[in-house]
Amino acid sequence: ASVGKTYLACANARKLGTCSQRTGFRREVLEEAVLELLSDRLMQPEAVAAFITAFTAETNRQRGEDNRVRVRLETELRDINRKLDGLYDAIADGLRSAGLQERLGTLEEKKAELEAQLAAPPPSPVRLHPALCEHYRAKVADLAASLADPEIRTRALELIRGLIAQVTVHVAPSGGVTLEVEGALTALIEAAQPGALVDVDHGSVKLVAGARNHRCRAKLLCHI
């Protein structure tokens, strides 16, 4: 939460009392540290490898889920067609009733709905640009430079925030501050590649700048 124009602090600590960290931090120091992580650390080779691995895994998971949904829809459609065939035979044999007509209408509506879902084109495959790192760094550098222009600073900050899923501030007893930045995978891909290339939902996947593990963390320590 903002504390005046130049400081940021934990809103839960100040408003709800659910956090013990009441220290305020200078906004420009935090912004510079986050920008350094975004531009220099997040697209290091190790981080990029984790980025691509996470993206590929999520894409495969999404594709598998799409296939399972399609199989379910096809099975449901076959079942409805079988029921409709039975009703058509009954009508052909002279059976008439209000309930039968209502059931027939319901099944035909459901059939049309399923056919429309199955006819929808699959999402276009997403391909990572071969110069992913270079494109990303150049665009983050442009955004960072834009912060110096009062007329476009607000928009530049919005775009930078869009690259970030979460920033966690860890305060050490010595007074040092460790920033841990989680980058939003979909936004990072869009920032690194021209055009709107992302059609799948990767909201559950994060690329993290922080200490090393399977999520590729690398932490930046700055003192305030």
Write down the pLDDT at residue 214: 32
Please give the share of the chain, as a percent, with pLDDT higher than 90.
17
- Tokens 């979460």, located at residue: 166
Residue appearing with tokens 């912004």: 31
- pTM (2 decimals)? 0.47
Q: What is the mean pLDDT of residues 75-87?
A: 95
- CB burial of 134-166 (b: ≥16 within 10 Å; e: otherwise) equals ebbbebbeebbebbeeeeeeeebeebbeebbbe
Does residue 89 register a pLDDT over 80?
yes
